[in-house]
Structure 1
Amino acid sequence: MTKSAQDLLVENEKLAKELLAVHADDIDRARRFPRQNIQELGRSGLLGLVVPLEYGGAGAGIPEMSEILERMAEACPSTAMVVLMHYCGTAVIAARGSATLKQSLLPAIARGEHLTTLAFSEAGSGGHFYIPVSEVRRNGHGLRLTARKSFVTSAGEADSYVVSTRKAGASGPTDLDLYLVAKGTQGFAVGKPFEGLGLAGNASAPMKLEDVELEEVKRLGSEGSGFETMMEVVLPHFQVGVAAVSLGIATAAFQAASAHVVARKYEHAGGTALAAIPRVQFLAAEMALELRSARAYLGETIRRVGAGDPEAMLDVLGVKARAAEAALAVASRAMTLGGGAAFGRRGGLERIFRDAQAASVMAPTTDVLKEFLGKACLGVPLF
């Protein structure tokens, strides 16, 4: 029986508490892909959250996705990032895949039997992941692609990859196509793991496509429509999703720091808790304001997207940047409040601090997003 979005929210809370949070530090320490977490999330139906109802999924949208990812990230950010990229890939398949492709994949995704992800970023365009430099080649035998994808989440772990590239004979940087490429496809290989500062368990690595044969039936959308799909489908899911992950990380930092200053007492001062110190209270207030304002902005962004507000794109651009900065601010203050205890692995703050760094440098970076937002505000063309 298919679970409703509301059922999945309840299931997510249970798994976050009883599974994800329990293994988060071990996953980080071992830089291990959270396979057990993904399998349990699949069995629960959570991997099918955004799969349409007619294919056995929950038929949920961006609001439910955001709520679920924030709670996941509070417990295990690496798992949340894997799931976010899976939701992005699933949304593209559901929105732009052919009837045959959707029928062959979406029910399996809904059952938790298929994990997908995005393979967009390329070394040639850096943080501008929406402008790949690779290009499809046509020959007498079909379509071929050679590309170097620089940062792919779930690299080698996902069952399929939504790959971006310039269409054959592209006349400009936004003449793009998206193709679904299966794991194990000849010429498709995983490079050395990235081993980033944070999000250590999300299996981020470069992937190489060497003269890979592409199938027309696995093109996602009509020829040349890839950029439009990025803007209309991928960008809202990704930007809101990363913002939700950042807020989950910030929430974990705030809770850990608050628990520490309440419990930590000075014997030499008659058992006075750190929480009684005005400076500590000031820092806690700053953390709360960062968290609450960023969450309010995320909620407003989701509302505008759902309402079809013509200015929603401004907030879609801004929300990832705002949430990333909030996560950095909260995590930094949490480390200050944690003192020496925060710099060791016990208590989790050290891991949370590292995880909080990711969103600001994850393409599109905070600086690139502010450039876009500034251009939009001033009426300057984005591209």
Structure 2
Amino acid sequence: MSAFDPAEILPDALLERFRERAAVHDRENTFPDDDLAELADAGYLAILVPTALGGLGLGLAEASVLQQRLATAAPSTALAINMHLVWTGVAKVLADRGIDTLRFVQAGAVAGEVFAFGISEAGNDLVLFGSDTDAVPLPDGGYVFTGTKIFTSLAPVWTQLGLHGLDTTSPDGPKMVYAFVPRSDAITTKDDWDTLGMRGTQSRTTVIEGAIAQPERVVRRVDPGPNPDPIVFGIFSVFELLLASVYTGIARRVLDLAVETAKKRASKKTGKTYAQDPDIRSRIAGMALAYDALPPQIAVLCRALDDVVPPDGRWFSYMSGVKHRAVTMAKSVVDDAVLVAGGSSYFSRSELSRLYRDVLAGLFHPSDPESAHATIASAWLGPVED
């Protein structure tokens, strides 16, 4: 592929099929199997894998644009595949920095493996810096994992689960262990995903009871707590940037729907379309002002990651900040769009109604608003004194 054209990978006709299915999956609370199959056929699972390994060889900047485009059609599909792309993105970040421990992730993505993100745990606000999952070392260098993960997107279809756990038994002190385990009888996926929005992600609870990671699939052991280790840096960076991309894509679709509606709706009072109403024009202008800031911000940070620019002391605040701004912007844009559209948007059959519900999920992903503010406050003011 010469010049990057997102429409070559995600053509309009494909997106329209996704958009039609999105309403069905939302209504029926089902996983978008057909979307995943078509994405796999398009090579989407390996967009971040180098061409030398059989992938499309794109960077995070291009993947971000694709995820924004995909989210305009099917937010749940985009958010679900995001979790697979996080691991292939981390593999790229590490490989770009001379660390090839996730080469098997890249090869697996090319072969059709689907990687799930098993990090979130109920009540664990340490996220990457701690875990309630037990990681017990085996004599051969492998690990046995036992614990419960929540919000495991791609639950019905994943083949490999990337997860972390805490090893409290090793002589070199407690260690956070990052590894991958295959789907097996030691892992139970609950059928408990019945949510307000993002229903198609099927991000179910995953109960792990003695799942074994082989030695070659144990990719990193790091100290608990805030850590500059490449695996922590990579996960945090790729996760936040791709999340920001999905919610920015939702905002773009919402803005387009608002413009389309304003041009169609006419006022009984004036006989003119709402596009000529000064209040509506002002509202849509405000939506556009909020949206327009995000794609360039995401692009700059993605390119810094792709270009292996050494992070400065505020890198984690940049990541937290752009994710926070993207989801709050998207929520604000949807709030205004339903006012532009009027009462029809209140019906569940309305696409805006679904997007209104979908966008709320962004507030719960790490970094949540409190964590983002704490990270940024520390970047500017220094840590809180004891």
Same fold (TM over 0.5): yes
Are 1:158 and 2:158 counterparts? yes
- What's 1:55 paired with? 53
Question: Shift of the alpha carbon at 1:248?
Answer: 0.6
- What's 2:80 paired with? 82
Q: For residues 36-185 of structure 1, what are the structure 2 equivalents within 5 Å?
A: 36-93=34-91, 102=103, 106-111=106-111, 113-126=112-125, 128-138=127-137, 143-169=143-169, 175-183=175-183, 185=184
The alpha-carbon distance between structure 1 residues 21 and 225, as it changes in their structure 2 partners (threshold 3 A), is farther
Q: For residues 1-383 of structure 1, what are the structure 2 equivalents within 5 Å?
A: 6=4, 9-14=7-12, 16-93=14-91, 102=103, 106-111=106-111, 113-126=112-125, 128-138=127-137, 143-169=143-169, 175-183=175-183, 185-221=184-220, 223-224=221-222, 228-266=229-267, 268-269=268-269, 271-305=271-305, 306=307, 307-310=309-312, 311-380=314-383
Question: Shift of the alpha carbon at 1:95?
Answer: 5.9
The alpha-carbon distance between structure 1 residues 287 and 343, as it changes in their structure 2 partners (threshold 3 A), is same
The whole-number CA distance in structure 1 between the counterparts of 2:12 and 2:27 is 24
The answer to whether the 8 Å contact 2:31/2:156 transfers is no
Deviation by residue 1:91-118 (Cα, 9 ceiling, x = unmatched): 3455669979735x5344225x221121
Give the 3-state SS of the residue equivalent to 1:136 in structure 2.
strand
The answer to whether the 8 Å contact 1:131/1:173 transfers is no
Equivalent position amino acid for 2:57 in 1: G
The answer to whether the 8 Å contact 1:127/1:363 transfers is no
The whole-number CA distance in structure 1 between the counterparts of 2:57 and 2:384 is 35
Give the 3-state SS of the residue equivalent to 1:151 in structure 2.
strand
Question: Shift of the alpha carbon at 1:58?
Answer: 1.6
The answer to whether the 8 Å contact 2:266/2:273 transfers is yes
Equivalent position amino acid for 2:358 in 1: D
Question: Shift of the alpha carbon at 1:56?
Answer: 0.4
The answer to whether the 8 Å contact 2:131/2:166 transfers is yes
Q: If the length of structure 1 is used for normalisation, what is the TM-score?
A: 0.89
Q: If the length of structure 2 is used for normalisation, what is the TM-score?
A: 0.88
Between the aligned residues of both structures, percent identity stands at: 22
Relative to structure 2, which stretch is displaced further, 13-22 or 60-69? 13-22
Equivalent position amino acid for 1:206 in 2: T
The whole-number CA distance in structure 1 between the counterparts of 2:139 and 2:107 is 34
The alpha-carbon distance between structure 1 residues 8 and 333, as it changes in their structure 2 partners (threshold 3 A), is closer
Deviation by residue 1:129-170 (Cα, 9 ceiling, x = unmatched): 542122312366863221111221112321111011113436
Any unmatched runs of 5+ in structure 1? none
The answer to whether the 8 Å contact 1:246/1:356 transfers is yes
Deviation by residue 1:24-60 (Cα, 9 ceiling, x = unmatched): 2112111211111111111111111011222101222
The answer to whether the 8 Å contact 2:81/2:154 transfers is no
Give the 3-state SS of the residue equivalent to 1:145 in structure 2.
strand
The alpha-carbon distance between structure 1 residues 362 and 313, as it changes in their structure 2 partners (threshold 3 A), is closer
The whole-number CA distance in structure 2 between the counterparts of 1:345 and 1:373 is 37
The answer to whether the 8 Å contact 1:16/1:72 transfers is no
The alpha-carbon distance between structure 1 residues 209 and 289, as it changes in their structure 2 partners (threshold 3 A), is same
The answer to whether the 8 Å contact 2:148/2:207 transfers is yes
Question: Shift of the alpha carbon at 1:236?
Answer: 1.2
The answer to whether the 8 Å contact 1:121/1:127 transfers is no
The whole-number CA distance in structure 2 between the counterparts of 1:41 and 1:48 is 10
Any unmatched runs of 5+ in structure 2? none
Give the 3-state SS of the residue equivalent to 1:210 in structure 2.
strand
The alpha-carbon distance between structure 1 residues 56 and 9, as it changes in their structure 2 partners (threshold 3 A), is farther
The answer to whether the 8 Å contact 2:324/2:367 transfers is no
The alpha-carbon distance between structure 1 residues 158 and 50, as it changes in their structure 2 partners (threshold 3 A), is same
Relative to structure 2, which stretch is displaced further, 161-170 or 255-264? 161-170
The whole-number CA distance in structure 2 between the counterparts of 1:151 and 1:358 is 11
Question: Shift of the alpha carbon at 1:379?
Answer: 2.0
The answer to whether the 8 Å contact 2:145/2:209 transfers is yes
The answer to whether the 8 Å contact 1:304/1:312 transfers is no
Moved over 4 A (4+): 93-101, 139-142, 170-174
Give the 3-state SS of the residue equivalent to 1:220 in structure 2.
strand
Equivalent position amino acid for 1:36 in 2: D
Deviation by residue 1:171-202 (Cα, 9 ceiling, x = unmatched): 9998311111111x231111232322211100
Equivalent position amino acid for 1:264 in 2: R
